[in-house]
Amino acid sequence: MNKTILVTGGAGFIGSAVVRHLINNTTHNLVNIDKLTYAGNLESLIDVADNDRYQFVEADICSADTIAQIFIKYQPDLVMHLAAESHVDRSIDGPAEFIQTNIVGTYTLLEVVRKYWSELDTKKKALFRFHHVSTDEVYGDLSNSEKLFTESTPYAPSSPYSASKAGADHLVRAWYRTYGLPVVITNCSNNYGPYHFPEKLIPLVILNALDGKQLPVYGKGQQVRDWLYVEDHARALYKVVTEGKIGETYNIGGWNEKQNIEVVQAICDLLEELMPDKPEGVAYYKDLITFVSDRPGHDQRYAIDAGKIERELEWKPQETFETGLRKTVQWYLDNSEWCLHVLDGSYRRERLGSIQE
């Protein structure tokens, strides 16, 4: 049965992967709401922008009246909420935007959705789902522990970003418990893959290396992260919104724990193979690695136990870290124009395929 799925933040890194997956692999109709901040890039959606089942609306989830009108117009059956400010360093420098978008925006959206859902007919109301997409960073720091984050791990956020996402998670659960809103929540590990904004570790290292610039690594690079290929994540999110049990949380991870320095070195090794013609003055890409002062309150280890989603929804990542990283590096080598438009800012001036409301 074809549904109308509304995605918030669908021009961002993970959101655009979800949009592409839904258009390319399902027959559902899709409405993409995005504010188009610096992290929203419509060039990541060129391949689906002209599809008859796809609509884009530029809107801010903090604007209740605007969002309510969108719900009235498109009558969604499912909501996938990915709109968020998501960069830890930016949250340290300017936490106010993170509180506004991640907490106030989620509250505003929940209230619009609650009113919309309460007025649906019995059949449509029973099938409706609100899927809130969150992060493993809400769980805090595993440090030297051998444990993994599970769905019952207590919250202990360390940064303004993770605290704002934790707050949003709590709101979603409260709207389920108090008002009966049919919700599902997912918490994911570090994503990587095509179309990733180059302030994040993997694309930053790739593009800096190709340009002969320093490859900055916090502290000694011993921080451990679990890495999840973004297209695997998109498949998991669709599984959860369509098959997940109401009121449940599902952790999504790649079973790929790596130290940051290992990730950087692996990228350098791939570039040696795939792009041996280096910038002038560079003998080896690893020579560009530069250790810099650690960020304040930097969590040392995140690691997700993705057993629940594997058992209950039969989802597993298709990519290993090695296969996913190779695909990622090759994508950046093959898509220099997309990278150039991000780096020079022109992607923000060319809002391709947008439908203004």
pLDDT (tens digit, 9 = 90+) per residue, 314-357?
999 999 999 999 999 999 999 999 999 998 888 886 554 443 33
Structure tokens at 29: 């109709």
Predicted TM-score (pTM) of this structure: 0.94
Q: Which position among 139, 161, 176, 347 bears the catalytic label?
A: 161
Task: From residue 225, give the alpha-carbon distance in Å to each of 117, 242, 259, 345.
Answer: 37, 28, 6, 29
159 vs 318: CA distance, rounded Å: 31
Could you tell me the sign of the dihedral formed by the alpha carbons of 231, 234, 238, 244, in that order?
positive
Q: In this predicted model, what pLDDT tens digit does every residue of 8-21 receive, in sequence order?
A: 999 999 999 999 99
Assigned CATH topology for domain 4-193+227-255+301-319: Rossmann fold (3.40.50)
pLDDT beyond 80 at 55: yes
Instruction: Determine contact, residues 258/227, Cβ cutoff 8 Å.
Output: yes
Which one is catalytic: 34, 85, 137, 141?
137
Give the integer Cα–Cα distance in Å for 151 and 169.
Answer: 12
Q: Per the residue annotation, which of 34, 43, 136, 319 is the catalytic one?
A: 136
pLDDT tens-digit profile of 203-229? 999 999 999 999 999 999 999 999 999
Q: What is the dihedral of CA 95, 98, 104, 110, to 10 degrees?
A: -160
Whether 136 sits among the annotated catalytic residues: the reply is yes
Distance from C-alpha of 33 to C-alpha of 40, rounded to nearest angstrom: 10
pLDDT digits 0-9 by tens, 10-51: 999 999 999 999 999 999 999 999 999 988 999 999 999 999
Could you count the other beta carbons within 10 Å of the beta carbon of residue 224? 17
